Amino acid sequence: MNEASYESFEDFVTASADRLMRTAFLLTGNRHAAEDLLQGALERTYQRWGREQIIAPEAYVRRVLVNATSSRWRSRQFREEPLDAVAERASADGGPDLALRDQVLRALQELPKRQRSVVVLRYYDDLPEAAVAEILGCSVGSVKSHASRALARLRLSQHLGDVRVRHERRR
């Protein structure tokens, strides 16, 4: 990789690392797993960076994150950390905001991986349905279906308690 390509990749990582880390964290529910996942996704992107032009690098990395998350679940290399200990620390340290965040993370982890991916990409990353469909390699109708089912499950989640999940239709 030449110096200009290296610098452009470095600029991309600097500009998008926080957003991509948030996506990885929401997909895995675990900070350490998210860091590993993002590192692997960035390594894979770096390998392609100098050889071919990646038109939408952030979308490409998101797709790698989603695919790698699915692969980790399938290969059983990913081990979940019980959230009970995390919840105790959260409620003791951060007050209501951190407790609410913990409730939402617990509810997200209950969703099947495809529904979780749609919710994270659509509502946390605020991507349009067409972009989510492209990242996940499915139709816009599938994205809508997964989002609808996921939001219905979140509304019924025992972890959300009094929190109401509001679905605002975007036109």
Average of per-residue pLDDT values in the chain: 80
Taking only the tens place, the pLDDT of each residue in 46-78 is 988 877 778 889 999 999 999 988 765 444 444
CATH number assigned to the domain comprising residue 9: 1.10.1740
Looking at 41, 75, 109, the residue that finishes a domain is 75
Does 146 fall in a domain?
yes
pLDDT for 96: 59
**For residue 8, what are the domain limits?**
3-75
Q: CA of 122: how far to CAs of 5, 79, 118, 166, in Å? A: 30, 26, 6, 14
Looking at 47, 75, 103, the residue that finishes a domain is 75
pLDDT tens for the chain, residues 1 to 171: 677 778 899 999 999 999 999 999 999 888 999 999 999 999 999 988 877 778 889 999 999 999 988 765 444 444 444 545 444 544 445 555 777 788 888 889 889 999 999 999 999 899 999 999 999 999 999 999 999 999 999 888 776 665 544 434 333
**What contacts 97, CB < 8 A, 6 or more positions away?**
none
How many separate domains does the chain show? 2
pTM over 0.85: no
Q: What are the phi and psi torsion angles at 80 (to 5°)?
A: -75, 145
* In the block, residue with structure tokens 């679940």: 73
